[in-house]
Amino acid sequence: MESAAPIQHRESPHEKSSGPLPPAFVDKNAPRSDHVDLKRIEKAVREILLAVGEDPDRDGLLETPARVSRMYAEMFAGLRHDPGRHLAKVFAENYDEIVLVRDISFCSMCEHHLLPFTGSAHIAYLPSGSVVGLSKLARLVDEVARRPQVQERMTQTIADLMEQRLKARGVAVVLEASHSCMTIRGIRKPGSLCLTSAVRGSFRDDPKSRAEVMDLINRPR
Ligand SMILES: [Zn+2]
């Protein structure tokens, strides 16, 4: 970036250390079990096939229940791990300006229809003495994505993890996604995009800082 006037973010509320700390982030989708009952999914898929009038014993469908059960285990793998683990390893670095990774593709599952929503995540943060490997941000997005959820909560989950595990002084997360529950069924509007954002710390408190990061996120590709 051609010397985008560095803003001093040293007045972040985290560094004033007066006032109470924000309540610890509670991950409502926190991993509960590391076991997926594949057989149970298989039975359920077979039931669905019967319910729609199909013959689950015909050739083409014979292995479908088992295949679908493995697919769900993969799509929901994020329920079995703490996505914040990717932020555990940091590197001490005396850099206190914006770090932004744009266009991290993801695929998640809408919890209302169990249909995928796919798109890109953009994550920016203001480090406080240490930075995280850039690929870890992509891993974080991947793991948070692999749960049944709504885009709004996914956005907040990523922002909260960044703020609390990384102790970032500012965090901005923007997600844009196409929801198949809107494009292939119901209202059927292909091309519609849903945008959500969550900002924390100085990106929320300081309008100049917020404008700077949103400008970087929206910079033409
Ligand atoms: Zn939906």
From the CA of 74, how far away is ligand 1's center (Å)? 19
For the chain, first and last CA: distance in Å? 13
Among 52, 75, 98, the domain-final residue is: 75
Give pTM, 2 decimals: 0.84
Tell me which residue range forms the domain holding 49: 38-75
Residue 197 lies inside a defined structural domain of this protein: yes
Burial of 199 (0-12, 13-18, 19+ CB in 10 A): buried
| E-state strands within the chain | 90-92, 99-110, 115-126, 130-132, 148-149, 170-179, 194-201
| Ligand 1: centre distance to CA 154 (Å) | 14
Would you state the pLDDT for residue 88?
A: 93
Helix (H, G, I), strand (E, B) or coil at 130: strand
pLDDT at 201 exceeding the cut of 90: yes
Among 75, 94, 128, the domain boundary falls at 75
Per-residue model confidence (pLDDT) at position 3 = 42
Q: Are residues 64 and 128 in the same domain?
A: no
Residues 109 and 160 in one domain: yes
**Which tokens sit at 11?**
């007045």
Neighbours of ion ligand 1 (CB under 5 A): 110, 112-113, 181
Q: What is the mean pLDDT of residues 49-77?
A: 97
- Based on the domain organization, do 60 and 133 belong to the same domain? no
106-139 pLDDT tens trace:
999 999 999 999 999 999 999 998 999 999 999 9
Residues marked active site are found at: 110-113, 151, 179, 181
User: Any bridge partners for residue 104, and if so which?
Assistant: 121
What is the domain count for the chain? 2
Span from the CA of 114 to the centroid of ligand 1 (angstroms): 7
